[in-house]
Structure 1
Amino acid sequence: MSDDAGQVCAPPARIAARFYRDPKSRQYKSSAVSSRRNSLSSIQSHTSTRSLRRSSSCQSNYIAQHLRRASIIEARKARLADRAAHAEKVRLRAAMAKAAPRGDASASEERALAAQMARENHLAKVAAACAEEVQRAKQKAQEIKTKKLEEEKQARLDMEERMADADRRRAEYKRNLTSRKSRRASELEKKLDDVSEVDDDTSSKLDQETAVLRIQRAWRVRQRRLIIRAFSECNLSLKSIRERSFEEVGALLSGTPIIQATTRVLRLLALQDVEDTPSPQPTRTFLSAYLVIVHPAAVFSQNGAQEQHLMATAGELVESFESAISLLSPTNHFEFPSSSLQDLSRVYTTYLSAFDAWRAQDSSALVETMVASFVELDAIWQTVKDDTQGAVAQDYRQGIRDNQVMLLSKIRKLAGPDRADILIKKAIGESRRRRVKRRTPAEVRPRAAADVEDSVTESSEALPVVTENFVQESAQSDADSQDDVRTNLARLFSPMPSNRVLTHELAIDKDFRISPNARSDIRDVINRELCDGMRAGVEQGMGTPWTVAMAQEIRAKLVHIVKPGNSMHNFIVEALDTDLIYRQCEQGIFSYASFFSFMANILPKLCAPFRDAQVKALADDLESSDGEDMGAMIEKLFRLLHFIDLLSLDYSNFLLMNAAPVLIRESAGYESRMFAADIASGKITLACTSRWWRNASGNLLTEADRRDPEQVRNPADRPTAHQIYTRALVDTTFGQGPLSVNDMPETLALDVERLCTIKQKALHMTTIGAILLVAKNMLKRDVRSSWKAEASRLWDLLSKDPPSETTSEEDLANLSSDAFSVVENAHNLPPSTKTALQSAVSRVITQASTQRFTDPVAKVLGSRLRSHVFSRVVAKTSGERVRAASGASEALATAGLPEFVTHVGEMVELLRKVAEVDWASHAIWYEQIAREVSGAGDA
């Protein structure tokens, strides 16, 4: 060995970690590990290792590992031997227990036998008790039966006695009658003939009436028996159709014989009204109850609460109906008791209401809603497609197209491609036909206007010049008009509005034309007084001055509608020369027939093509031969003046159509200048406008503060000027109470009549919507279902005679009765529902006359309508407007106004156009008022 033999060499760290364990961690080892570590061999191994280490003897690691492995193996063998010994003991105990005799089985069997005997004894006692009870019941029934037999026998004996007594009295009466006749035979012999004739007539009359009554009764019974027999031959009952398939039941119920037989039975039971041309639809609805009960899975697409309610009401109806049919027999002459008939009618009405409510939820309602949205988008496109300023049409085009494509795909999925195309085409056609028919320029262009230029100067200074061509009174001064009577007549006859009104109307509606009814009544009255004055002057011998004056007036009117220097102009001036007519009248050679013949030839050359039919009728009237009767001539002259006024109006409208682009383009600036001039001159102030703006601003700020309880007041949540203006406009139009002209802002002075019309329409919508909504709730119908027919009839009724504060109570009662009749005729109403609905209709119409609703349903509908219109009018961008229009149908249906999608769309477009024109003309003053209100609020 080397010098280092006594040196102790420490093992590497990885080996030392395996042999030198931490004493603290040993307590967490498992029992098996600790037992192995604490075994004798392990202790010896550790002891030997420590001794070797102490003695500084270097042992081989291999030897230590071998000893440790051997000790572990020995310990495992010992444990396995202990387990084997324990298992052998357990096996021996189990074998001994198995071999031991079982004494508990006999005890269990004895207990089971005892329980069986006890159960048999108890059943025997119960059977004996039941037998005794049954015996007593049988004995009691036998006693009751015997008693009834005795009572019947006694009643029969009593009846026989009474019959025998009656026979005895009858025989005695006959004997007495015979004796009396024999005693009075001598007295009655003289009057025998007369008495026999009277007796014969009386007996025949009585016999005939009795026979008629009996024949009628027998005929009615026979008719009812035939109806029941025909229905019985159809073999329609739940028991007979339960085993049939859905197709077989559907084919059976859709057959004409069973529909006719069922209709007659329903009329017999007073469930349907008797009409000359009955509709099979109510009968089909009744027969659907069998299909709903037998095959609900094939009928319903889903099994919701409404479907369950319909099945329950259908089962109750069929059960009551079959019970009623079974009660009809010859004993009761096939007549149903009135008390049971009321219950059957109630069940039938309940089923019809449930069926209609379920059908309203069908896909057809959804299809109608989406078609209405599609039509609404088309109406918007028709409004903006002709826009030539900016890019309005381009902005709308893409949004409308995307929404229509989406709606079209959904409609085709629900209704099918063919039916979807038909529905959309029909709806769009009706929508476009409701719009005012626009005549082509060729139809409205007067033939005398061939040389009129189609364009006018585009300068802003040309606006008054262009309009002066239309207004005759602006062509001459007031001094000249006082000197010339004809100028005064021209001013009275002129239908043209003022320049400001003209430009304002064109800005709102580019197709605006002056209506013939604008001042037609006034002109006709003046023409009539003029002709009456001429008739009185002729009677006084002043025919020549009047004839010359009327010819001069007609020439002035005709010359006005042709261009000076034109051949037609020269021809009219030469033909209607006043000096020539005066000389002819003085000489007595003037002929009214020639004058009217000339006018009949000249008028077709001056009128527009669409007036050809009217001018032809007038020409035939003028050329009719009435002699020289001055009264007839003056009547023709009156009709001629009226038609010439129409020609002048057509010419003015034609010039207006040509100048419309320039007038529309310059309307905002012109109206703004006129408004500023009125303010500068002191004609108007902004007091009403300022108060109007402050009220709307206060309302919006209050709502904003209510939505902001923490008073954060984020600028993004505060109302803008556009929102305040829209809110003020909508509140003015849809507010409670009549629209007061004194409270209207000065900026909307030209739109008062238009806003009144919109308010009246909104009032009609609220009134009709409240009536229909109450009826739907009472009949348990879906409020989203559209009753267009009833709404249209009610709209015509209210438009014809709108209720107002001046309407008498009698007229309001008649109007309420007519409105109730519309709903009553369209739907089957139970008696209790009729009373409640009639009261609701009367209440709503009475409140509509004051334009202040206190009825909860009407107030909610009015609020919803105002909110919907505000949300659509306040939209600024084209995308927002298209989205609002595409969801308008669904929103109105949810609000309870699905019948007024078109009316609301037209109202929204008109209000939006009024707001745009008004803001463009008066934005300066609105911004000034907004700054003042904002500054006052900050202060």
Structure 2
Amino acid sequence: MGSTEEINKMRSAKKKLEMSDDPKSEVNNKSEETSPDPLEHGIDDDLKPLPEGELKGSSSDDADSDTEGAAKPNDNSSPKGIDVQGARSRNDSDSSTESSKSPSSDRLKRQRTVSGSSPVQNFIFPGVAASPPKFMSLEEVMKAAKGVSNMVLAHEIAVDKNFKLEKFEPPDNSVEKQVRDVMHRAFWDQLEEQLSQDPPCYDQAFVLLQEVRDNLIDITLPHHTKLRQEISDNLDVDLIKQQAEHGVLNFNQYSQYVLSIMSRLCAPVRDETIRNLMRETEVVDVFRGVMETLDLMRLDMANFTIQQIRPHIIAQSVTYEKKKFAEFLKTQNDGLELTRDWLVSHVKPDDVSASDDLSMRNIVSLVINRAYLELLSWPDERLLPETVVLDGSRLLELRDRLSQVCILGAILLVTFSSVGPIITQPDAFKLKLKRNLCIILDPALSEKDTMDVMDNIAEQVVKEVDDHLQEHDKPLLPVSAKNALKSQVLEVKNSTHRIRALISKRAMEFISVIMNSTTARPVQMPPGLSTLQEELAHICGTLIRLVTHNRSVFGEYYADIITNHIKAAKELAQDTEKDKSEGVSESV
């Protein structure tokens, strides 16, 4: 038996959709019409969002309704300079060429587990006051907390085009799963036992039919007036009870009617499941499958609605997040403590010399960009600033990807510094080596995982060199040379390794140039990173997209914090200078 909670907030959005007369086509044909803000009422607790950053692209089940994640081919013949705008646009592609999987671009869509829960379930700004000001009522605090949850949901939908809801499944061997399974099994066992009595007992069946009727009505669209009336008339529990009392109830007939309605309302991906249920002869098994499929159909409708309202959410997300965050700050003594420390730490002594508004705006922008760059080397044990915590897992995923790209670039340089003279067709060898190393690196989701596979990386480098030499009829490397090459590759594990540190510095400088660029002029790739052009472009594009949205929402707070800090520093410097002058005068 699936969950019976209604998706009330989705129904308000569905009422704004104009669909055709055929119910089945309505679920699959996407309307361009958007609806008013559907997020003010939250979402069902049993409808959990996919973990942020996880691969949510179209599967075979979703192919009929989600085409937004189609792959876009990349041009391998592109020059070694990257257009800033190109870096932004490449981020929207869900896949890249085979040579650009280092680590795979799909890595950004997978969950990087920082905590065990989704941000929509548990969202707590770190570092804020533990209790609200005393003049805040509990009702106001709870309202603000609900607003934060809705803000998280709006943010996820706005920044993740593949966002979708999925049915919550508790972990295997968990108490929650065991209790749920026992309760469901008890329900179906009791139903089977009652129906097998002579005469049959339909008490449990009446409860089930009423639940099925409510779920069927729930997945209809607002203008399905006749269909809803038909369902209510045919699944009238009072009438069914009268049939049972007179011994003329055909429970199997009702199951077939329910399946016929579901076949009219479901998305094509559910057709096969419903056909299989129609061939099922055991009525209990039929209704068990009906309840499971209805849960999936409710999710289909919810995800369809999200796709319909997504343009509206994107257009309103900045204003909406500003509003909800402001409401949240009212419940906190200091809700920007970590953000203030984060930004102020990037104000340099020279920045205090800003003399006019224009120079102040430029300095504020530079400080913010320097702060964002720090997120690409943020330590796990340190709490993220309150204003970037919504994208925390995405930013940490970018950090780990960038680290892997730098390690990979260092390995390529170390390899060619050792065996470069004996390599024929070096460009092709680099691409092949990079592609095969990425197969090993791809499952590594953290720095520790990457270090754990470095031995395999070293072995693969030696194998690729041997394969290349054998392919071109050249003598293989001697054992001593192989061991030396392995040793050099393993030295890259050290974060202070000279070549790795140099690659990391160049990569950060490249990203900084792109972030501070105000034109679409192509940016020259740093030396040693040309082979990793696609990877860096993808990182830059993703980071710029997140930064742009974040600055749109929290830019005013950032500007106030930096401006006030610089003004306070100026006043302190002036007071210090004045004290020195007075001290000199008194001494004279």
Partner in structure 1 of residue 370 of structure 2? 727
Partner in structure 2 of residue 934 of structure 1? 566
1:520-562: CA deviation from partner (whole Å, max 9, x where unpaired): 5579958755532313434775974443333333333332222
Report how many aligned residue pairs link the two structures.
433
Q: CA deviation at 1:799?
A: 2.0
Partner in structure 2 of residue 537 of structure 1? 190
Q: CA deviation at 1:427?
A: 7.5
Do 1:723 and 1:874's aligned partners in 2 also have CA atoms closer than 8 Å? yes
Q: Does 1:603 align with 2:262?
A: yes
Aligned AA for 2:370? R
Identical aligned residues as a percent: 20
Do 2:100 and 2:534's aligned partners in 1 also have CA atoms closer than 8 Å? no
Structure 2, unaligned runs of 5 or more: 1-74, 107-120, 122-147, 196-200, 471-475, 573-588
In 2, Cα distance between the equivalents of 1:586 and 1:667?
Answer: 56
SS, match of residue 420 in structure 2:
coil
Partner in structure 2 of residue 901 of structure 1? 533
RMSD across aligned C-alpha pairs, in angstroms? 4.4
Do 2:82 and 2:523's aligned partners in 1 also have CA atoms closer than 8 Å? no
1:696–1:643 distance in 2 versus 1, CA, 3 Å: farther
1:807–1:732 distance in 2 versus 1, CA, 3 Å: closer
1:558–1:379 distance in 2 versus 1, CA, 3 Å: farther
Do 2:514 and 2:540's aligned partners in 1 also have CA atoms closer than 8 Å? yes
In 1, Cα distance between the equivalents of 2:163 and 2:371?
Answer: 30
Aligned AA for 1:914? L
State the structure with bigger RCO (CA 8 A, min sep 6), 1 or 2: 2
Partner in structure 2 of residue 619 of structure 1? 274
In 2, Cα distance between the equivalents of 1:536 and 1:835?
Answer: 65
In 1, Cα distance between the equivalents of 2:537 and 2:402?
Answer: 12
Q: CA deviation at 1:682?
A: 1.4
Alignment TM-score, normalising by the size of structure 1: 0.41
Do 1:544 and 1:586's aligned partners in 2 also have CA atoms closer than 8 Å? no
1:875–1:505 distance in 2 versus 1, CA, 3 Å: farther
Partner in structure 2 of residue 256 of structure 1? none
1:663–1:545 distance in 2 versus 1, CA, 3 Å: same
Do 2:511 and 2:540's aligned partners in 1 also have CA atoms closer than 8 Å? yes
Q: Does 1:796 align with 2:432?
A: no
1:301-351: CA deviation from partner (whole Å, max 9, x where unpaired): xxxxxxxxxxxxxxxxxxxxxxxxxxxxxxxxxxxxxxxxxxxxxxxxxxx
Partner in structure 2 of residue 65 of structure 1? none
In 2, Cα distance between the equivalents of 1:859 and 1:760?
Answer: 15
1:598–1:814 distance in 2 versus 1, CA, 3 Å: farther
In 1, Cα distance between the equivalents of 2:563 and 2:280?
Answer: 74
In 1, Cα distance between the equivalents of 2:536 and 2:154?
Answer: 26
Q: CA deviation at 1:722?
A: 1.4
2:307 to 646, 657, 661: 657
In 2, Cα distance between the equivalents of 1:561 and 1:712?
Answer: 60
Structure 1, unaligned runs of 5 or more: 1-366, 385-425, 437-470, 472-496, 706-710, 848-852
1:655–1:899 distance in 2 versus 1, CA, 3 Å: same
Partner in structure 1 of residue 155 of structure 2? 504
Do 1:563 and 1:569's aligned partners in 2 also have CA atoms closer than 8 Å? no
Do 2:216 and 2:294's aligned partners in 1 also have CA atoms closer than 8 Å? yes
1:429–1:869 distance in 2 versus 1, CA, 3 Å: closer
Do 2:91 and 2:542's aligned partners in 1 also have CA atoms closer than 8 Å? no
2:225 to 566, 569, 582: 566
Aligned AA for 1:606? L
Q: Does 1:674 align with 2:338?
A: no
Aligned AA for 1:649? L
Q: CA deviation at 1:913?
A: 1.7
1:800–1:435 distance in 2 versus 1, CA, 3 Å: closer
Partner in structure 1 of residue 78 of structure 2? 370
1:143-166: CA deviation from partner (whole Å, max 9, x where unpaired): xxxxxxxxxxxxxxxxxxxxxxxx
1:427–1:777 distance in 2 versus 1, CA, 3 Å: same
Q: CA deviation at 1:504?
A: 1.5
In 2, Cα distance between the equivalents of 1:580 and 1:826?
Answer: 79
Partner in structure 2 of residue 739 of structure 1? 380
1:580–1:840 distance in 2 versus 1, CA, 3 Å: farther
Partner in structure 2 of residue 280 of structure 1? none
Tell which structure's C-alpha radius of gyration is larger. Answer: 1
Q: CA deviation at 1:624?
A: 2.3
In 2, Cα distance between the equivalents of 1:504 and 1:533?
Answer: 40
Q: CA deviation at 1:598?
A: 2.8
1:852-873: CA deviation from partner (whole Å, max 9, x where unpaired): x122222221221111112112
Q: CA deviation at 1:592?
A: 5.9
Do 1:689 and 1:747's aligned partners in 2 also have CA atoms closer than 8 Å? yes
Partner in structure 2 of residue 758 of structure 1? 398
In 2, Cα distance between the equivalents of 1:550 and 1:684?
Answer: 51
Q: CA deviation at 1:762?
A: 1.1
- Please show how residues 94-133 of structure 1 align to structure 2 within 5 Å: none
Q: Does 1:919 align with 2:536?
A: no
Q: CA deviation at 1:430?
A: 10
Q: CA deviation at 1:823?
A: 5.6
In 2, Cα distance between the equivalents of 1:501 and 1:622?
Answer: 38
- Please show how residues 858-869 of structure 1 align to structure 2 within 5 Å: 858-869=500-511
SS, match of residue 335 in structure 2:
coil
Partner in structure 2 of residue 40 of structure 1? none
1:379–1:866 distance in 2 versus 1, CA, 3 Å: closer
Q: CA deviation at 1:688?
A: 0.7
Partner in structure 1 of residue 477 of structure 2? 830
Aligned AA for 1:503? A
Q: CA deviation at 1:587?
A: 6.8
1:368–1:559 distance in 2 versus 1, CA, 3 Å: closer
In 2, Cα distance between the equivalents of 1:795 and 1:666?
Answer: 39
Do 1:688 and 1:745's aligned partners in 2 also have CA atoms closer than 8 Å? yes
In 2, Cα distance between the equivalents of 1:601 and 1:512?
Answer: 31
SS, match of residue 697 in structure 1:
coil
1:684-741: CA deviation from partner (whole Å, max 9, x where unpaired): 621110111022224xx57x89xxxxx9999969961112111111111235xx434x
Q: Does 1:577 align with 2:232?
A: no
